[in-house]
Amino acid sequence: MGHHLDQPFARTTSLPGLVEVLADRRSEPCLHPAEIRALVELAKRIEAHRGAPQDIEWAIADNGDVRVLQVRPETVWSNRPTEQLVGAPTGAISQVLARFAGVGVTRNAGAPRT
């Protein structure tokens, strides 16, 4: 959940490319807490339905709706050795990880916790 420097396309033309983000918006997070919660819940539902970790590509529409673009089995992280990532949610990324898999997030933890 990095900070944004550029938008992925020009809203006036809808053509791919980079468009400068106004300086006063550069320090704002790209995702708001409600968007993070919606993505976490969606990812949990998709993985529970599929029965295994998934690589999920998504987008958020201008009206705030989350759209799933593509889902496929995840094959990189689930094959790595388990290691502790965060002990407790302290920052934005660890908060997402903790909400997704629970406090004490680990890699290769298998199916998502419910």
What local confidence, expressed as pLDDT, does residue 55 receive? 93
Helix (H) or strand (E) holding 41: helix 33-50
Length of the chain: 114
CA dihedral over 69, 99, 37, 113, signed as positive or negative:
positive
What is the C-alpha to C-alpha distance for residues 9 and 105, in angstroms, rounded to an integer?
34
- Cβ partners under 8 Å of residue 41, min gap 6: none
Residue 77 has pLDDT above 70, yes or no: yes
Q: At which residue do the structure tokens 């300086």 appear?
A: 23
Residue 53 CB burial class (10 angstroms; 0-12, 13-18, ≥19): buried
- Cβ partners under 8 Å of residue 110, min gap 6: 53, 78
pLDDT tens readout for residues 12-61: 666 666 777 888 888 888 888 888 888 999 999 999 999 988 999 998 88
pTM: 0.52
